[in-house]
Amino acid sequence: MDTRFLPISLEECRQRGIRQLDFVYVIGDAYVDHPSFGPAIISRVLESHGYRVGMLSQPDVGNPESIRALGEPRLAFLVSAGNMDSMVNHYSVSRKRRQTDAYTPGGVMGKRPDRACISYCNLIRRSYKKIPIILGGIEASLRRLAHYDYWSDSLKRSILLDAGADLISYGMGERSLVEIADALNSGLPVKDLTFIEGTVYKTSSLEGVYDAIRLPDYEALLQEKKAYAQSFRIQYENTDPYFGKRLIEAYSGHCFLVQNPAAKPLSTEEMDAVYALPYTRRAHPSYEAQGGVPATKEVAFSLVSSRGCFGACSFCALTFHQGRIIQARSQESLLREAEEMTQQADFKGYIHDVGGPTANFRHPACKKQEKCGACKNRQCLFPTPCKNLDASHEDYRALLQKMRALPGVKRVFIRSGIRFDYLLAEGKPEFLEELCAFHVSGQLKVAPEHISDAVLRLMGKPSRQVYDAFCQAYERTNQRLGKKQFLVPYLMSSHPGSTLREAVKLAEYCRDLGYMPEQVQDFYPTPSTISTCMYYTGLDPRTMEPVYVPDNPHEKAMQRALLQYQDPKNYDLVLEALKKAGRLDLVGYDKHCLIRPPAEKRERAEGQSPHTEKNSRHGLGRREAGGAPGPQHGRKKKTIRNIHKKKNS
C-alpha cells in the first residue's frame, strides 16, 4: 500500500512514472492528507479506484502559470474551495476581514481568493478551454441553486453558472465522483453526465428530464422574496436520497439547472473502507518551514465516528450537505485507527474527540430511515422526540469503553458536541455517568443557543425546559461522582425572531448563571439554511409566517453587547438596548440589575465617589437606598475563564 502523499508537482509525477494525471484537484486549503479534510477523502477514494490524482493547492489566481503546475489532466479538473466556505473563512459576521486562516500554512490570510470556486474555475478556463471542470466541497454544495449571498446582500445564481463549470458534485461526494470518473473514463462526454445522483448540471433543453419538480424561475425569485421562501421549502423537502425529487430551476427561459436526487448514504462497510485508505494523517511536509497548518492541531488525534445529523437545527446547513441519515463507522474500524494513532511519536495518550457533527449520534434515528429515508414533514427531535426515535447510547458507550482500555490511551475526550435532548430521550443515566466520569475535561460545551422558547422554536431547538432538565441532571451526576465540572453554553444573538426583549432575557440568563460569555456568536447567514432564508425573506419557509429579523447592524451590536453587559466598552449599547426594550428596571443598584445608572458611570469617569453625596443628603447609606450592600454589589461576576482559574487553584 502506497502511503506517500499524492503528487503536488510534475517532478513528483515523473518520479512515480506518471506521464499524465487523470485528475488535477484544485483546492483552496493547504494539502492535508487527513480524513477530516474533504479533499483528502475524495482524492484517496479516486486513487483506490485506480485513478491518478494530483493536488494543486492554493494556486495564485493572478498568475495563469500557477494552474499549469501539474499539466492538463486526462479526464477533468476537480475544484473545491476547501474545508470552509471561502467567504466565511475570510470575513466575520460583521463583514470584517479575519486576521488568520487556519487552513493555510502559517495561518497566513489571503492565500485563497474570495469566492474561491468561481475564481479557480475562471483561472482554469483561461488556460484550458475544453477540459471538464467538476465542482465540489462545501462552498459549491450549498450554492448549487439560487441562493442568498450575505456578503453582497443579494440573491445569486447557481454557482455552476458563475463558475463556468460543467457539474457540481454536492454532498459528501464519494459515490458521485467515482461514477463521474468511470463515465468520463469510458469516453462519455461531460455534457451527457445527466444521470448521476448527487450532481447538478445545466442544460438548454428539458427533454428527457423526468419525475421532476419545477422551482420558481430565477427571475421570479428576484421579483418576490416570498417566491424564494417557497422555492427553499421545496428544496428542503427534497434533500432526502430515498424520496427526494429531481429539481429544475430556470434562468431567462433558455437555461435550466437540474439537481438530481442526493446520493445514497454509505453503508458501515463502505464508511470503514473510506477511512481505511492510506492517509498520511499529516499536512504536506513542504509546509513545515512556514510553521505548518494550524487546523491540523485540532484533528491530529481525533476520530471521525459518523457523518450526517438528524438534529436539523435551522441555522445549520448539514441537512443540505451531509443529510439527515446517520452514517457510522464500525467499532472495529475506529479502534484500529485509534491503535495506529497511539503508535505515532507525538501521541501523548489523549484522544481529543470521537464524534462527528453530533458526537452521540451513532446510528439512524429509526429503523425506517435505513430503507425509506427521513420523514419529509417531521423532525426526529423537534419540537419533541418522535415516538419512533431510537435514542440508545449503548453502541457509543461500548465504543468509548473499548477505546479507554487501549494500551497507551490515558483519556478519551468528546469535544464535537453532545445533543442533550437526545441524551435525555434515552431515559437512562449510564451514558451521562460515563460522560462525566471519563470524557469531560473540566467543562462540557453544549448548545442551547437561546433561552426564549419563541426563538428556540424558530431555531428548531428544544425548549428551555429541556435544557434546564439536562443542567440539573449534569449537576447531580457530577455531585455523585465528586467532580467539579462545568457546563459552557453556546449562545447566539440576533437570530431571526430575536427582538431586543428576547435578547434581554438572554442577558438575564447569563446574569443568573453568574458569568459573562467571553465569546458570543452573532447569527451568521450562510447559504442553504432555514435561518438564512428567514433572514432574507422575513418568512419562515416551513409555515410562511412572518418572522422578525434583526438585520440592522446597530441592533445586532446591541443584542451582542447585552450578552457581555459587564464589559465597560458595551455600556452605552446596553443602556440603549434596555431603553428600547422598555427594561430600565435592569438599570440600578439591585442585584438583579445589569448595569448601573449613567450618573454613576460619569462620576466614576470623573474620579468622584458615587452615591456618597446624593445618599448622605437623604441620610441613607447604600443598603438603605435600596441597592445591594457594597461588597455584593461591587463583586465581579465570574467569566468562564475566572471559573476555571478558581477551579484550578
Domain that holds residue 467: 442-649
CATH number at residue 118: 3.40.50.280
Q: Please check whether residues 119 and 70 belong to one and the same domain.
A: yes
**What percent of the chain shows pLDDT beyond 90?**
87
User: What HEC string does 109-147 produce?
Assistant: CCCCCCCHHHHHHHHHHHHCCCCCEEEEHHHHHCCCCCE
Residue type, 432: L
Determine if the peptide bond prior to 383 is cis (ω within 30°).
Answer: yes
pLDDT in tens, 221-249: 999 999 999 999 999 999 999 999 999 99
Q: Please check whether residues 398 and 463 belong to one and the same domain.
A: no
Q: Measured over all CA atoms, what is the biggest interatomic distance in the chain, rounded to whole angstroms?
A: 95
User: How many domains would you assign to the chain?
Assistant: 3
pLDDT in tens, 410-437: 999 998 889 999 999 999 999 999 999 9
Domain contains 633: yes
How many Å apart are CA 125 and CA 530, to the nearest integer? 34
Single residue among 372, 407, 437 that ends a domain in this structure: 437
Band the pLDDT of 300: cuts 50, 70, 90. very high
Domain contains 293: no
The CA–CA distances, whole Å, from 482 to 229, 296, 436, 437, 475 equal 51, 35, 10, 9, 10
- The DSSP H or E segment spanning 411 is strand 411-412
pLDDT score of 8: 97
Taking the mean position of all CA atoms in its chain, how far away is CA 144? Answer: 18
pLDDT score of 608: 47
Q: Please check whether residues 553 and 424 belong to one and the same domain.
A: no
- pTM, 2 dp: 0.90
Q: Please check whether residues 433 and 452 belong to one and the same domain.
A: no
Q: What is the dihedral of CA 220, 222, 225, 229, to 10 degrees?
A: 60
Domain contains 213: no
Domain contains 231: no
| Mean pLDDT, rounded, for 493-515 | 94
CATH number at residue 408: 3.30.750.210
Domain contains 370: yes
CATH number at residue 576: 3.30.750.200
Q: Which parts of 447-597 fold into alpha helices (H)?
A: 453-459, 464-481, 500-513, 530-537, 553-563, 571-580
Taking the mean position of all CA atoms in its chain, how far away is CA 463? Answer: 22
pLDDT in tens, 169-192: 999 999 999 999 999 999 999 999
Single residue among 195, 212, 227 that ends a domain in this structure: 195
Q: Please check whether residues 371 and 504 belong to one and the same domain.
A: no
Strands 353-355 and 302-304: parallel
- Cell 462552498 belongs to residue: 139
How many Å apart are CA 15 and CA 511, to the nearest integer? 64
pLDDT at 647 over 70: no
pLDDT in tens, 454-480: 999 999 999 999 999 999 999 999 999
Question: C-alpha grid cell for residue 589?
Answer: 443598584
pLDDT in tens, 112-153: 999 999 999 999 999 999 999 999 999 999 999 999 999 999
Single residue among 380, 405, 437 that ends a domain in this structure: 437
> 133: which strand partners?
77
Q: Please check whether residues 406 and 470 belong to one and the same domain.
A: no
For helices 394-404 and 430-438, angle between their N-to-C axes, nearest 10 degrees:
30
pLDDT in tens, 366-416: 999 988 999 988 899 999 999 999 999 999 999 999 999 999 999 999 988
Residue type, 68: R
pLDDT score of 602: 55
Average pLDDT, the chain: 91
Q: Please check whether residues 515 and 372 belong to one and the same domain.
A: no
Q: Please check whether residues 468 and 563 belong to one and the same domain.
A: yes
Write the Ramachandran bin of 198: left for phi over 0, alpha for psi from -120 to 50, otherwise beta: left
Question: C-alpha grid cell for residue 139?
Answer: 462552498
Q: Please check whether residues 105 and 153 belong to one and the same domain.
A: yes
pLDDT score of 2: 57
pLDDT in tens, 8-33: 999 999 999 999 999 999 999 999 99
Query: Do the Cβ atoms of 138 and 81 come closer than 8 Å?
Result: yes
Residue with the larger pLDDT of the pair 488 and 532: 532
Q: Please check whether residues 312 and 461 belong to one and the same domain.
A: no
Band the pLDDT of 519: cuts 50, 70, 90. confident
Query: Do the Cβ atoms of 134 and 77 come closer than 8 Å?
Result: yes
Domain contains 565: yes
Q: Please check whether residues 540 and 470 belong to one and the same domain.
A: yes
Q: Please check whether residues 567 and 424 belong to one and the same domain.
A: no
